Amino acid sequence: MKIIRTIEALRTEILAAKGAGKNVSLVPTMGYLHAGHAALITAAASETDFVCVSIFVNRLQFNSAKDFETYPVSESEDIEVCKKAGASLVFMPSHDEMYSLAPALQLSMPSLSANLCGPVRPNHFEGVLLIVARLFNLFQPDVAFFGKKDYQQYRIIERLVRDLNFPVRIVGCETVREPDGLAMSSRNANLRPEHREQAALIYRSFKILEKAVNNGMADPIELTEIAQDVIVSGPDNRIDYVQIVHPETLELLQAIDGPFVVAAAVFCGEVRLIDNMTISPVVHDSF
Amino acid sequence: MKIIRTIEALRTEILAAKGAGKNVSLVPTMGYLHAGHAALITAAASETDFVCVSIFVNRLQFNSAKDFETYPVSESEDIEVCKKAGASLVFMPSHDEMYSLAPALQLSMPSLSANLCGPVRPNHFEGVLLIVARLFNLFQPDVAFFGKKDYQQYRIIERLVRDLNFPVRIVGCETVREPDGLAMSSRNANLRPEHREQAALIYRSFKILEKAVNNGMADPIELTEIAQDVIVSGPDNRIDYVQIVHPETLELLQAIDGPFVVAAAVFCGEVRLIDNMTISPVVHDSF
């Protein structure tokens, strides 16, 4: 497995791999890799013969300086995770390597950023769009893997690819969870021990909401309140948002009449966690 | 020479050309091809073995509906121009083929759009950025050719490539002119005969401005006024702007102390024409 730190060296490796007729895959990450990332790399290795992982904490997508500064880093452990999961190449550039020139170009997607994390993390998806478009051009992957834990990001990237005709296939992988349901996240490392159990209430709230839907409840406001109540039963949980949206347009739903996504952002103590669940209501016979 | 009208067929052609080890070049145009376009295609043919021309009047980059509707079209003549100049493939998609789904993504470059055509053509460069980024992904060219007549566009595309690491080299080609200096433009076809001579005053104003600079005049305001006076000596000319800017940042210059660009947009009757000239002042010995 090669470890590459410069754009120039990366271009050489990609050209060589493509020249050798290899299928190239990309797993973009911000490091501090966990089982969720490993699952993405494993999925990539099962489909392609040149698996690239990028590890870059992209300052441009952090709306909070504190969040950026406290974002956990674990370079040598990350390299081990990549190796074990079957990566061929890890790209770990410095901030200066990636942003030697501050970008003049701005990318945005107002429609898909209108809800969920969009309003509460100004400039976040703009930063994501820019770095992902750049990574696609640098790696020219045939396929790229994203975790559905970042559901809004996954949908925005899908649309980026469609709107700009990037010759890359996007695969969304299911969220990997701890035994109690907490979604794997690099930020979990920053949770205080006394908040860890309360963090699992996010996923628990989705499961309870799912039951309510299958019992016939169809009002998104009532459903959202149920989830909120479950989450704040953890005294150190503070809700950033809980929203029920259309799985593709990410528009807030006025009524449940098909599959939907419930998504939440919650401060567990100081640590902001996100999670979501796609729910397909059981269709009841109406006679 | 192949004529391609769908994205799917284009992808097949590009894959085949790349698979055969060919160097791919792209000349993006909006059709109604003239000697300036032919020069771009000829330049492409001299450097690469698979020369692609796109002909697409991109509605998204027209801020004026009338300008879009009156934009001249000449499909069969365009095909002849491409053939003669050495094109391998012409891509002529319909609006619906390119925009079957209205794009959710928005691209902009506020810094390089702050002057010249940016303020007077709202959303123009946003439309240009989107279509050019798409064309780059569709053709995956090794090199793309743009005319410097659209100087601001040329610099914006250069920066798009740099900011997103598109693996394409941008070549800017010099403006091709009529014998009296008028820059070749598809819009010249819409000029009324009685305005044609007055249109040549745009370039003439640049040449007079250049002389003034070389005579030691260094105040951009005075220089701009000289050019404006020359242009409006044509009674049917109406100035949209005349500006003196830095050749790379496109910022308005406060003083002339090196190479600069003078650029103008002028309504000759109903037809809006643009032109520009890069001027490197002669350095006078100061002793």
**How confident is the model over A39-88, as pLDDT tens digits?**
999 999 999 999 999 999 999 999 999 999 999 999 999 999 999 999 99
Residue B169 predicted with pLDDT over 60: yes
For chain A, say whether B23 makes contact (Cβ under 8 Å).
Answer: no
How close is the nearest chain B Cα to the Cα of A287, in Å? 40
Q: Please tell me the pTM assigned to this model.
A: 0.96
For chain A, say whether B101 makes contact (Cβ under 8 Å).
Answer: yes
Tokens 């898909």: give the residue: A112
- Phi, psi (degrees; rounded to nearest 5) at B241: -160, 155
Alpha helix ranges (H) inside chain A? 7-19, 35-47, 65-70, 75-85, 95-98, 117-120, 124-139, 151-164, 193-199, 201-214, 220-231
Contact A57, A131 (CB under 8 A): no
Residues 6 or more apart whose CB falls under 8 angstroms from that of A225 comprise none
For chain B, say whether A159 makes contact (Cβ under 8 Å).
Answer: yes
Q: What is the pLDDT of residue A283?
A: 76
Dihedral sign from CA coordinates of A238, A244, A250, A252: negative
Chain A residues in contact with B7 by the CB 8 A cut-off are: 165
How close is the nearest chain A Cα to the Cα of B95, in Å? 14
Q: How far is CA B91 from the centre of its chain?
A: 19
How close is the nearest chain B Cα to the Cα of A172, in Å? 20
Q: What is the pLDDT of residue A65?
A: 92
CB contact under 8 A, B165 and A134: yes
Percent of chain A exceeding pLDDT 90 equals 97
Residue B136: CB atoms within 10 Å: 25
Q: How many CB pairs under 8 A join A and B?
A: 72
CB contact under 8 A, B164 and A112: no
Angle B124-139/B7-19 helices, nearest 10 degrees? 50
**Residue from A26, A131, A137 whose CB has the most chain B CBs within 10 Å, to mutate:** A137
Q: Both tokens of residue B182?
A: 């008028």
CB contact under 8 A, B111 and A101: no
Q: What is the rounded average pLDDT of the residues B93-103? A: 95
Chain A residue with CA closest to B114: the answer is A104
CB contact under 8 A, A165 and B129: no
CB contact under 8 A, A106 and B108: yes
User: H/E element holding B90?
Assistant: strand B89-91
CB contact under 8 A, B163 and A11: no
Question: Torsion over CA of A7, A8, A12 and A18, rounded to 10 degrees?
Answer: 40
B68-71 long-range contacts (CB < 8 A, ≥24 apart) are: B70/B190, B71/B30, B71/B32, B71/B186, B71/B187
Q: What is the rounded average pLDDT of the residues B221-228? A: 98
Q: How far apart, in whole angstroms, are the C-alpha atoms of residue A170 and residue A148?
A: 11
Please, what are the domains in chain B?
A: 2-173 (3.40.50.620), 186-278 (3.30.1300.10)
Name the average pLDDT for chain B.
Answer: 96
CB contact under 8 A, A160 and B133: no
Q: What is the rounded average pLDDT of the residues B75-83? A: 97
Closest partner CB to A164 (pick from B105, B109, B111): B105
Instruction: Show which residues of A are catalytic.
Output: 37
For chain B, say whether A133 makes contact (Cβ under 8 Å).
Answer: yes
Confidence of residue A107 (pLDDT cuts 50, 70, 90): very high
With b for 16 or more beta-carbon neighbours within 10 A and e for fewer, the B231-255 pattern comes to bbebebbebebbbbbebeebeebee
Residue B286 predicted with pLDDT over 80: no
Closest partner CB to B167 (pick from A133, A140, A166): A140
Q: How far apart, in whole angstroms, are the C-alpha atoms of residue A38 and residue A31?
A: 11
Residue B264 predicted with pLDDT over 60: yes
Closest partner CB to A164 (pick from B7, B108, B137): B137
Confidence of residue A37 (pLDDT cuts 50, 70, 90): very high
Chain A residue with CA closest to B11: the answer is A167
**Residue from A8, A60, A106, A112 whose CB has the most chain B CBs within 10 Å, to mutate:** A106
Percent of chain A exceeding pLDDT 70 equals 99
**What DSSP string runs through A138-162?**
HH--SEEEEETTSHHHHHHHHHHHH
Residue B284 predicted with pLDDT over 70: no
CB contact under 8 A, A103 and B138: no
For chain B, say whether A111 makes contact (Cβ under 8 Å).
Answer: yes
How close is the nearest chain B Cα to the Cα of A104, in Å? 6
Question: Torsion over CA of A110, A114, A119 and A121, rounded to 10 degrees?
Answer: -60
Q: How far apart, in whole angstroms, are the C-alpha atoms of residue B215 and residue B12?
A: 57
Chain A residue with CA closest to B112: the answer is A104
- Phi, psi (degrees; rounded to nearest 5) at B5: -120, -10
CB contact under 8 A, A7 and B165: yes
Q: What is the pLDDT of residue B28?
A: 98
Q: What is the pLDDT of residue B6?
A: 98
CB contact under 8 A, A138 and B165: yes
3-state DSSP call for residue A181?
A: coil
Q: How far apart, in whole angstroms, are the C-alpha atoms of residue A134 and residue A160?
A: 12
User: H/E element holding B53?
Assistant: strand B50-55
For chain B, say whether A131 makes contact (Cβ under 8 Å).
Answer: no
